[in-house]
Amino acid sequence: MAAWSVAPGPVSAAEAAGERAFVRVSPRDSRYFELSDGRAYIPIGLNIVGPPRGDFDGMEAWFRKLSANGGNYVRVWLGSSYFDVEHARSGQYDPERAERIDRLLAMARKYGIRLKLCVESFRHLGEGKKSVFAKALHHVSQGGPAESTADFFNGGRGREQFKQKLAWFARRYGSDPTVFGWELWNEMDAIQAGDWKAWTTVMLPELHRLFPQNLAMQSLGSYDNISKRKRYEDLCRLEGNDVLQVHRYLDLGASWEICHGPVDLLTADAVGELLAFGVRKPVLLAESGAVEPQHSGPLKLYEKDQAGIILHDVLFAPFFRGAAGPGHIWHWDVYVDRQDLWRHFGRFAQAVQGIDPPAEGFEFRQVEHPRLRVLVLQGRHTLLAWCRDRQNTWQSELAEDRPPEKILGAAVDLGIPADWRADVRVSTYDPWTDRRSEATVARGRVMLPDFSRSIVISIQRR
């Protein structure tokens, strides 16, 4: 049998423990990430805003479960109540809250997890309808720098104060490779005052100046209607925005029909929308999941999704559509942990084990099949394909209580390059059974083992 060379794969949680290399955009392929020592990095993880009911040990339990299943990435909100250092008075930073962030970073290092740190998330200074989104301490009446929300973002004093906050974080946490990157704001276009684009244009250079070895980025609200296409394109084209992020949920209240359908379609489409702008930077589905209409709460059908089909699709579809990593689910507590779905992160990690995306230079294409949706990543040395049963969706399995059917004797023509066919190794990986097996090719078609819901195909040339 021929000897097979295995490309260096993405950094595992165990390998990343104590790691001193930074995450960067790969100079080998600017659509993917790598570490500053040249190893590939695929961010496998989710959003965890803060600890449950202030219980830091509970948050550590989540990190431990994620790490044990191959996870290496978490997004945290520094503006959440538990970590917010600026909670008593505008421009004053609480050292006790900062110690909580110190502990968070130490915990991330312990479990080999990189952190995306979202600096702020409030939406108004008290004029808005929902008090939960307010941060009134920035108003002049409470000693703050701004006379209104618009003034905070457009005015010189408000902008200067935010720069001072970034500088305070830099003095305490600058040059820390545990940090995947710094995110300016959560869904900034949801703020109904001020110019988010102009403000972001000013603040991204500040992030790069203060954190020269960390990634810098911004986020917008859920991409659920066509009117948001222009603002997403504007964000993608902003200089200094290192990561092209998109948020999208299964939401029957969204005006865009794509947001009502199968989760693999709506998540892959979100990635495809950003890739279509033609900006060669890493794309991430940074927030996803399923909600009651118009984000009125987590999807009630989560309670029935003990198999984790929604999480599976959020993880797999974006990467196989060309994203720099799997999608990152939002409902870490009421869905992922409550249903004990952490194994799915390990299944995705298994599916990409040994893969170095920047070295492969993957190009996406889709293969037609009467029963399966087949997403293909064609690389220099590896062809990966994710095959998803069209007839199995959240609607069929959760709303209609129809169990997934077993797909028997399927075959897929992946268009294997002619110069590969003489010496390739073909295998399949079933993420639902965690089973990998050799496969055969007959007349150009890969013969699949029997499976349900989805299966991954890997073809490697010598």
CATH architecture assigned to 365-461 = Sandwich (2.60)
Residue 18's pLDDT band (boundaries 50, 70, 90)?
Answer: very low
Query: With respect to CATH, is domain 13-360 assigned 3.20.20.80?
Result: yes
Report pLDDT digits (tens) over 56-90.
999 999 999 999 999 999 999 999 999 999 999 99
From CA 37, how far away is CA 55, in angstroms rounded? 36
How large is the greatest C-alpha to C-alpha distance in the chain, in angstroms? 77
Report pLDDT digits (tens) over 121-175.
999 999 988 888 999 999 999 999 999 999 999 999 999 999 999 999 999 999 8
Nearest-CA neighbor of 386 among 412, 357, 359, 417? 412
| CATH 3.20.20.80 residue window(s) in the chain | 13-360
State yes or no: pLDDT of 5 exceeds 50: no
Nearest-CA neighbor of 366 among 348, 352, 340, 386? 386
| CATH 2.60.40.1180 residue window(s) in the chain | 365-461
From CA 200, how far away is CA 208, in angstroms rounded? 12
Question: How is 57-70 classified by DSSP, letter by letter?
Answer: HHHHHHHHHHHHTT
Taking residues 13-41, report their average pLDDT. 85
Q: How many percent of the chain have pLDDT more than 70?
A: 96
Give the 3-state secondary structure of residue 225: coil
Q: Are 387 and 457 in contact (CB under 8 A)?
A: yes
Type and span of the H or E element at 407: strand 406-407
What sign for the dihedral angle of Cα 62, 352, 314, 328?
A: positive
